[in-house]
């Protein structure tokens, strides 16, 4: 190798691209099979027609980054990209469906199986536990066997979990089915954003990754609609949980036409296969663009050759690791999910007394989430990730503070009473105690009647007009959440890490999301009893304020940058 001339003026038009790589990186990185062509500098007055390749070469006065940006600015999202993103994002749809359907199914399951309050909590939380472990292992799987195969495995897991639950004959099988579904949720929540980010043109990446969150919220809407359809059917819960197998089957058929991520292919020394995928992503791009894109991906690999978990906590990966885990923790510690779980009480205060009417209101909540996420999909690449987070988090803080104030009006700071009758005619505090219901027209607090009576009663559980203001505030907080914090952590974590550790790093960040989800879900009811509902919402507002400071000081803007360019922010 030492005999190779380093005089670039002697480069012949036919010399292979590996010579150019040698000039930049040295002997160690020559690929003898790399035959990509480097064009000589243009002579004054010459044109692209002067080379014999028929391909348009880059302007020699431009650096590689400028050339890549110029091509991508003119790129359009092809049918191939949309198709691949939507098929993989069916995993996100199943994520949303399986986490949303339990609220409707539980109302019927508890009529078929005798469960304690703890057992109900375990059944609901089983998916979160499974998702934690699924997210944790998904990182290693996606780096080892690929993003595509991991998505296929997740689809099989969804089918298996749906069948176990649909045919469960006792409580234990239901819990097992929920854990299995949770594993699928964990895999999908981690691998789908990564895959989509790795096939997306840089100026459409935010929109396409947010498409996954749109399908998550769409899955929740469909879950509630399915709940309404089967809520009055005998053992309708079996249909609710079993129907999720069908989208997973559709996904498996679609995955036959979806290739592996080009970046994963480069990482595994398959540059020609990666180039074929890139050619379908950028069908109108010149050959030199494809060569430079592959080279840019290769550059990130030659700079760091190790991919162990220890590498995640070494420079320059420490900061993106903190940012990704921090954003996922903030998303859950905002209390949004738990506040939405508590919306059931707000519904009753607003006059929703039957199971079906409460489910209809839940559809409104899910639909609001879906529509605001659709707006976010349209604006995320225009406004930017950092800016949209800073703006919407201010709205969430205001919403949580005012929601807390509304609960002073609804429930007051009344301490927990020994007996429901001790609340007297104070409707709000009565409904704030899960043991109690408010009886009309007597306007007195009484012990909660059996569940099967509650399903048809129109005389319990309403504080006329008192909860409407709280309902509107909950929807406002939901809207600001969906615009920003609901999707940005998933998008940003898929962009932050170098290719060699991307799967492992996002796996840990995803696991952080699920463990925080579990912590908040377990702590919510004890907090409302300890510091009241108002105090609980104010604690969430304080956490959101600290989160806003975190975003302002540490989270960079990644919009408009390639995944490889994002790495330079931390170097």
pLDDT at 150: 94
More confident residue, 13 or 451: 451
pTM of the model: 0.75
More confident residue, 352 or 2: 352
pLDDT at 124: 79
pLDDT at 7: 40
* Of 314-328, 450-464, 481-495, minimum mean pLDDT range: 450-464
259 pLDDT exceeds 90? yes
pLDDT at 495: 85
CATH of domain 311-417+464-571: 1.20.1250.20
Q: Which residue has the tokens 């319990």?
A: 460
**pLDDT digits 0-9 by tens, 498-539:** 877 788 888 899 889 889 988 887 787 778 778 877 888 899
More confident residue, 195 or 504: 195
For residues 558 and 292, the answer to whether their CB atoms sit within 8 Å is no
Question: Which two three-digit tokens encode residue 194?
Answer: 């990564």
For residues 522 and 337, the answer to whether their CB atoms sit within 8 Å is no
**pLDDT digits 0-9 by tens, 156-172:** 999 999 999 999 888 88
4 pLDDT exceeds 60? no
* Of 158-167, 278-287, 555-564, minimum mean pLDDT range: 555-564
Write the class of the CATH domain 74-258. Answer: mainly alpha
pLDDT at 17: 38
Nearest CA to 481 out of 522, 557, 541, 524 is that of 541
pLDDT at 41: 40
Break the chain into its structural domains and give their ranges.
1-40, 74-258, 311-417+464-571, 418-463
Distance, CA of 449 to CA of 457 (rounded, Å):
10
Distance, CA of 547 to CA of 361 (rounded, Å):
30
Inter-CA distances, 531 with 76, 185, 240, 523, 526, Å: 53, 33, 36, 12, 9
Kindly state the DSSP code that residue 145 receives in the 8-state scheme.
T
DSSP labels, 383-409 = H-HHHHHHHHHHHHHHHHHHHHHHHHH
327 pLDDT exceeds 90? yes
- The kind and range of the H/E element at 448 are none
Question: Which two three-digit tokens encode residue 402?
Answer: 């005012």
* DSSP 3-state of 16: strand
Inter-CA distances, 356 with 227, 228, 348, 449, 464, Å: 9, 7, 12, 18, 18
Q: How confident is the model at residue 302 (pLDDT cuts 50, 70, 90)?
A: low
Q: How confident is the model at residue 352 (pLDDT cuts 50, 70, 90)?
A: low
pLDDT at 412: 56
């Amino acid at each position: 190798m030492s005999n190779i001339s380093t005089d670039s003026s002697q480069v012949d038009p036919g010399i292979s691209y590996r010579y150019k790589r040698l000039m930049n990186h040295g002997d160690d990185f020559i690929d003898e099979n790399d035959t990509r062509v480097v064009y000589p500098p243009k002579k004054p007055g010459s044109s692209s027609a002067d080379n014999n390749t028929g391909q348009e070469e880059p302007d020699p006065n431009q650096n590689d980054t400028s050339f890549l940006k110029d091509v991508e600015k003119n790129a359009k999202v092809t049918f191939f990209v949309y198709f691949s993103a939507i098929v993989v994002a069916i995993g996100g749809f199943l994520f949303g469906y399986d986490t949303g359907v339990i609220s409707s199914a539980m109302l019927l399951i508890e009529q078929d199986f005798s469960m304690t309050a703890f057992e109900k909590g375990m059944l609901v939380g089983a998916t979160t536990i499974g998702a934690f472990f699924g997210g944790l292992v998904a990182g290693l799987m996606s780096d080892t066997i690929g993003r595509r195969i991991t998505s296929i495995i997740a689809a099989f897991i969804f089918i298996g979990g749906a069948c176990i639950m649909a045919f469960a004959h006792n409580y234990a099988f239901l819990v097992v089915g929920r854990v299995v579904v949770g594993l699928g949720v964990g895999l999908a929540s981690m691998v789908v954003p990564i895959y989509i980010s790795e096939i997306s043109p840089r100026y459409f990446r935010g929109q396409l990754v947010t498409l996954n969150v749109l399908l998550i919220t769409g899955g929740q809407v469909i879950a509630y609609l399915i709940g309404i359809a089967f809520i009055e059917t005998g053992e309708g819960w079996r249909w609710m949980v079993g129907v999720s197998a069908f989208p997973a089957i559709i996904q498996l058929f679609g995955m036959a036409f979806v290739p592996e991520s080009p970046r994963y292919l480069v990482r595994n020394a398959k540059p020609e296969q990666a180039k074929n995928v890139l050619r379908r992503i950028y069908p109108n791009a010149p050959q030199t663009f494809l060569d430079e894109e592959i080279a840019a991906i290769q550059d990130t690999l030659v700079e760091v050759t190790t991919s162990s978990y220890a590498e995640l906590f070494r420079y320059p990966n420490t900061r993106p690791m903190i940012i990704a885990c921090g954003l996922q923790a903030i998303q859950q510690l905002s209390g949004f999910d738990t506040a939405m779980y508590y919306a059931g009480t707000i519904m009753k205060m607003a006059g929703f007394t039957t199971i079906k009417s409460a489910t209809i209101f839940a559809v409104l909540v899910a639909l609001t989430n879906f529509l605001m996420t659709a707006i976010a999909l349209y604006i995320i690449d225009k406004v930017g990730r950092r800016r949209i987070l800073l703006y919407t988090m201010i709205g969430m803080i205001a919403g949580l503070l005012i929601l807390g104030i509304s609960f002073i009006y609804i429930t007051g700071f009344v301490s927990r009473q020994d007996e429901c009758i001790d609340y007297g005619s104070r409707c709000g505090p009565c409904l704030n105690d899960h043991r109690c219901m408010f009886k009309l027209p007597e306007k007195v607090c009484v012990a909660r009647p059996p569940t099967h009576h509650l399903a048809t009663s129109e005389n319990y559980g309403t504080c006329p007009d008192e909860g409407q203001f709280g309902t509107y505030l909950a929807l406002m907080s939901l809207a600001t959440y969906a615009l920003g914090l609901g999707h940005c952590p998933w998008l940003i974590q898929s962009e932050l890490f170098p290719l060699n550790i991307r799967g492992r790093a996002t796996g840990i960040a995803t696991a952080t999301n699920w463990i925080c989800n579990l912590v908040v879900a377990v702590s919510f009811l004890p907090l409302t009893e300890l510091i009241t509902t108002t105090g609980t919402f104010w604690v969430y507002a304080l956490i959101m304020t600290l989160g806003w400071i975190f975003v302002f000081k540490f989270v960079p803007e990644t919009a408009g940058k390639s995944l490889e360019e994002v790495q330079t922010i931390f170097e």
